[in-house]
């Protein structure tokens, strides 16, 4: 999962002779228009890198959870072995002291047939108990060995993922610093062009209405018309919509998940957390959750995804609009859902 995309962000924006050898992209801008396009491209790559880092962190959390579970299983197996060890010591002590008598000894020491049968029955019970203990010890030892192997493997995988994520984060931060310097070289008009190329034009946010205030289908229809489609199909989805819209104007920050700054998947995670629904902080992971929804069946609260592989997500709010944390330099805003790169939608509630 190690990333190389950050290396592609090292662009030279100063005017000069462009390095455009056959088969290679221009990496030195000759004109203001080229500089703007190079930064817009770099911006998209950087968001993809950021979302890959988010996804790697989700994987790391899962692996750490698996490592913790494997460690708990190992501790339980070792505890069972310790308990059985005491029973085995008791069996060995009984054999050493002659308590585990043979049938011959029972026959020679019995005063009657009844006493003999009683002693034989006792011997059978002891033998059966010993066999059970031995079987349990063998099974527990095997389980402990298996648990130890699983725990070691899970811990090693988590450690490798931690190292990978640390390296990715370092690459991402270097890419962010490089990109920010490039972005700052642009004029205000060029920066606006970069923002619109990736985020689309800002639209007016719809009003919202609580689902609980709508008591009938006709009232729901009227409320939907009055609020430009902001009425979600369930309480949970409505809460998510209202929470996401409440963040309009907050800053975009790579890797941020609130409460006052967000990236795209962080905003979705934050909005649905308010509705009691837990989402991972990764647009790719979010795109595999919930139920698939066609473009024609979108309802407020549905999450809409972009690019392949998925590297951007927003929330549909009705009337062809979505709210999203679009990109660096652009606050959380409402735009058209028909943004370039649309690949599908998922419904998390309702």
> Residue 64 sits in a domain of what CATH number?
1.10.287
Q: 115 lies in a domain?
A: yes
Q: 27 lies in a domain?
A: no
Active-site residue, selected from the candidate residues 45, 198, 264, 281:
264
**Sheet bearing 303-306, strands edge to edge:** 291-293, 342-347, 303-306, 312-318, 321-324, 333-336
Helix (H, G, I), strand (E, B) or coil at 35: helix
Same domain, 251 and 160: no
Q: Specify the pLDDT at position 114.
A: 58
Sign of torsion, CA 326 330 333 334? negative
Q: Does the model's pTM come out above 0.75?
A: no
User: Residue 89's domain spans which residues?
Assistant: 32-185
| CATH value at residue 264 | 3.90.1720.10
Q: 16 lies in a domain?
A: no
For the residues 317-345, what does the mean pLDDT come to?
Answer: 93
Q: 13 lies in a domain?
A: no
Same domain, 36 and 178: yes
Q: 123 lies in a domain?
A: yes
Q: Is 324 a catalytic residue?
A: yes
Q: Is 264 a catalytic residue?
A: yes
d(CA 211, CA 230): 10
In the listed set 127, 151, 185, which residue is the last one of a domain according to the structure? 185
Q: Is 312 a catalytic residue?
A: yes
Q: 55 lies in a domain?
A: yes
Q: Give 91's pLDDT tier (boundaries 50, 70, 90).
A: low
Q: How many domains does the chain have?
A: 2
Same domain, 288 and 167: no
Active-site residue, selected from the candidate residues 45, 198, 281, 312:
312
Question: What tens digit of pLDDT does each residue of 218-242 get?
Answer: 434 433 433 444 688 899 999 999 9
Same domain, 270 and 158: no
Same domain, 38 and 174: yes
Same domain, 36 and 150: yes
Q: Specify the pLDDT at position 222.
A: 38
Q: Classify residue 297 by its DSSP letter.
A: G
Active-site residue, selected from the candidate residues 45, 198, 281, 324:
324
Q: 7 lies in a domain?
A: no
55 sits in which H/E element: helix 32-96
Same domain, 237 and 342: yes
* CA geometry: angle 221, 225, 227, nearest 5 deg: 115
Q: Specify the pLDDT at position 29.
A: 59
For the residues 62-80, what does the mean pLDDT come to?
Answer: 78
């Amino acid at each position: 999962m190690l990333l190389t995309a950050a290396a592609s962000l090292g662009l030279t924006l100063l005017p000069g002779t462009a390095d455009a050898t056959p088969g290679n992209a221009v990496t030195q801008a000759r004109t203001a228009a080229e500089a703007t396009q190079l930064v817009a491209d770099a911006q998209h790559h950087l968001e993809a890198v950021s979302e890959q880092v988010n996804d790697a962190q989700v994987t790391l959390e899962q692996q750490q959870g698996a490592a913790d579970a494997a460690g708990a299983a190992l501790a339980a197996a070792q505890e069972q072995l310790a308990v059985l060890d005491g029973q085995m010591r008791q069996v060995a002590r009984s054999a050493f002291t002659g308590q585990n008598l043979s049938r011959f000894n029972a026959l020679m020491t019995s005063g009657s047939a009844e006493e003999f049968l009683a002693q034989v029955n006792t011997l059978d019970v002891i033998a059966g108990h010993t066999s059970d203990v031995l079987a349990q010890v063998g099974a527990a030892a095997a389980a402990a060995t298996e648990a130890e192997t699983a725990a070691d493997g899970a811990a090693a995988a988590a450690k490798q993922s931690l190292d990978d994520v640390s390296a990715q984060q370092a690459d991402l931060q270097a890419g962010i610093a490089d990109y920010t310097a490039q972005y700052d070289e642009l004029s205000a008009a060029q920066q606006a062009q970069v923002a619109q190329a990736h985020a689309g034009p800002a639209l007016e946010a719809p009003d919202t209405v609580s689902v609980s205030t709508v008591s009938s289908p006709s009232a729901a229809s009227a409320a939907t018309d009055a609020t430009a489609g902001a009425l979600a199909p369930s309480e949970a989805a409505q809460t998510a919509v209202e929470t996401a819209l409440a963040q309009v104007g907050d800053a975009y920050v790579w890797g941020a998940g609130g409460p006052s700054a967000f990236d795209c998947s962080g905003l979705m995670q934050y909005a649905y957390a308010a509705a009691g629904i837990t989402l991972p902080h990764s647009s790719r992971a979010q795109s595999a959750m919930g139920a698939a929804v066609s473009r024609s069946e979108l309802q407020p609260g549905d999450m809409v995804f972009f690019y392949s592989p998925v590297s951007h997500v927003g929330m549909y709010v009705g009337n062809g609009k979505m709210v999203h944390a679009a990109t660096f330099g652009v606050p959380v805003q409402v735009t058209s859902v028909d943004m370039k790169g649309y690949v599908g939608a998922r419904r998390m509630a309702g």
